[in-house]
Amino acid sequence: MIGLLITNTAFAGTDANNYPKETCQEIYQAIGTFLYLADVQWKEGNEQKAIFYSTASANYASIYQAVCKK
């Protein structure tokens, strides 16, 4: 069990393989879409939906930063 944990964490600091340019563009567009949807929902008073879309945008931004930024 301990060996498995050490193996899994040993690669935590290594660079992830970069995604293809097309995939990164789609992720980037999704970030903007989720931010737009969050703004619309916020302005309509739907706080829960706004938070949902904002969180999705943040998650996609983390993925983009990890595998698309060079």
**pLDDT tens-digit profile of 39-66?**
999 999 999 999 999 999 999 999 999 9
pLDDT score for 1: 41
Q: Would you say the pTM of this structure is higher than 0.85?
A: no
User: How many structural domains is the chain composed of?
Assistant: 1
Q: Which domain holds residue 52?
A: 19-67
Work out the mean pLDDT of the chain and round it to a whole number. 83
Q: Do residues 57 and 8 lie in contact, with contact meaning Cβ atoms separated by under 8 Å?
A: no
Q: What is the DSSP letter of 42?
A: H
Report yes or no on 34 lying in a domain: yes
Report yes or no on 2 lying in a domain: no
Report yes or no on 3 lying in a domain: no
Report yes or no on 51 lying in a domain: yes
How would residue 4 be classed by pLDDT, with cut points 50, 70 and 90? very low
Q: b/e per residue, 20-40, with b = 16+ CB within 10 A?
A: eeeebeebeebbeebbebbee
Report yes or no on 24 lying in a domain: yes
Report yes or no on 8 lying in a domain: no
Report yes or no on 56 lying in a domain: yes
What is the C-alpha to C-alpha distance for residues 29 and 36, in angstroms, rounded to an integer?
11
pLDDT score for 18: 83
In 3D space, the residue among 60, 52, 55, 50 whose CA is nearest the CA of residue 24 turns out to be 60
